Chain A
C-alpha cells in the first residue's frame, strides 16, 4: 500500500468494526481489492468508496441523525416545560418527570439492544420506534403544559402525595409503552411486521373514537353538533364497543394470517383451557408437536396485535386529548370552537376543569392497553384451534394409546 492510501486503508479497517457481522467481510473485500487498483489517487478513491459503503451499511448517519433529533426534541421540551418563574410543587414534579422519562427512553433502548437486539431494519419498525418515542416526548410536554392549568387546590396541603403518585403512575405507563415499542420492533422480536401493522391499523380508529366521544368530553359538544340525531350515550357506547372489538379483530387477523416460522419453542406437556394455552404459548422451554408450535405462535401474534391495538388507540386518544387541553389557554379560536356556549367569564373554570380532568387520561392509558391485550388474547385463542389436543381431549388420547377404558369416561372437550 502506498503512502497516500495507507491512512485511508487504516481508517477503513477501523470503520469496518462498525459493520454488523454479516457485512464486515465486504469491507475486507474492498481493502483486499485495493491492492489491485493502481496506486495513487485511484486507490485512494477506491478506499474512499469503501468508507462510503461502511457509512451506508452501518447506518452511521441515520443513527447520528436519530440521536441528534432525540437530543433536540428533549431540549425543546425542557425549554418549553421548564418555566423560570413560579417554581412550585407541580413544576418540580414536571422537571423530575421529564428527567426520568428521558432516562427511561435511553435506558430501555440500551437494555432492549442487549435483550432483544437492535431495531429491525424494516421501514415499518423504524417508523413505529420513531413514532413511539415522539409520542412519549410529546405527551410529556403536553402533560407539563396541562398541569400548569390546574387550580390552586393542587398546590394545597395534602395534594403532594396525590401529585407524586400520579407522576409515578405516568412514568410506569410510559415505561410499559416504551418497552412494548422496543420489543415489538427489535430484531429478535416474535412480533411480525404484519402483526405490528394490523395492531396499529386497528388502534388508530379506536384512538380517534375515544378522543371524540370519550372520556372527558373535550370535543363532545362539537361531536353532538356534527351528529345531532345520535344520542351522546349511544356514541359513547359505540366508542367503548370499538375499544373492545378492534383489538379482537386485530388479534384474529394476526393469528390467522401468521405464516412464517418465527415461533419461540413451545412448552412441554398438555395444555387445556384458555389460560393454560395462553401460558403455554409464552413459555420458553420444552418441546411440542409442529402443529402445537404453529398454534402457539399464532396465539402469540394475536396477543401481540391486541396489545399493540390497545396501546396505539390509548396513546392516540391521550395525545390528542392532552394536546387539545394544553392548547386551550393559547388558542382562543379553539376555545371558542370547543365551548361556544360558554360566556367569557366561564371559560377559565372550563379550562381548569379540563386541566384537572386530564389526569383521567392516565387511567385510559392504563386500562385500554390491558383491555386490548385481554380481548386480543381471547379472540386469538378462540380463532385458533388447539392442535396440540387431539379430538376427544387429552385423556381420551392417553386412553387410546394405553388402551385404558377408564380414560374414555373422563374424556371431554376442555
Chain B
C-alpha cells in the first residue's frame, strides 16, 4: 500500500525517471545516469520503493555471456498512482505500452514482507 508520507527530492527524481516509461524495465545504471544519483543513494531509494510496493524488481531472464544478469525495475500500479499524487508528469498512452529491448524478465518469487522503516 502506498504511504502518504511525502517523497524526498531524490525519490521524486527516481519516480520521475521511472515514470517516463512506466511499463519499461530499467537498469540501475540507466536510472543513476538519468537521475544523477550515486548508487549509494539510488539503491536505498529503490529498496524503499520496492518495500512499499511502488516499484517491482526482477532479474533479467536472458543470460548474456561475459556478464551477470542485471536487475531491472519498473513502477507498479501503486507506484504510478503515487507518482501522480506527487505531481510527477505522466507519459502518453503510446509510450506507456512500449516494451523496451524486447525482453521479458523472469519474475522473482514473492519477496518476504519487509516492514517499511524509512
Contacts and interface: CB of A to CB of B under 8 A. Distances in A.
B41 A120 contact: no
Size category, B interface? 20 to 34
Interface in B31-61: 32, 38-44, 46-47, 57
A157 interface: no
A48 B27 CA distance: 18
Nearest to B67: A35
A107 B108 CA distance: 38
Interface in B48-89: 57, 67-71
A137 interface: no
Contacts, number: 75
A402 interface: no
Given A46-B39, A49-B40, A120 B115 contact: yes
Contacts of B6: none
Contact of B117 (A47, A48, A51, A121): A121
A25 B32 CA distance: 18
In terms of DSSP, what is the predominant structure of the interface of chain A?
helix
A26 B43 contact: yes
A261 interface: no
A28 to B, nearest CB: 7
Contact of B43 (A32, A35, A48, A49): A49
Given A26-B47, A36-B70, A49 B39 contact: yes
A51 B43 CA distance: 11
B114 A22 contact: yes
Contacts of A21: 112
A102 interface: no
A48 B41 CA distance: 11
B100 to A, nearest CB: 15
Contact of A49 (B41, B47, B112, B117): B41
Contacts of A37: 29
B111 interface: yes
B28 interface: yes
With a 10 A CB-CB cut-off, give which of A23, A30, A45, A122 has the most chain B CB atoms. A30
Contacts of A51: 40
Contacts of B38: 45-46, 49
A21 to B, nearest CB: 7
A167 B27 CA distance: 61
A20 B42 CA distance: 19
Interface of A: 20-23, 25-26, 28-33, 35-37, 45-53, 56-57, 120-122
Given A22-B112, A122-B117, 4 more contacts: A29-B43, A32-B70, A46-B38, A53-B40
11 contacts: A20-B114, A22-B112, A26-B47, A31-B68, A32-B69, A32-B71, A45-B39, A49-B41, A49-B42, A53-B44, A121-B117
Interface of B: 27-29, 32, 38-44, 46-47, 57, 67-71, 108, 111-112, 114-115, 117
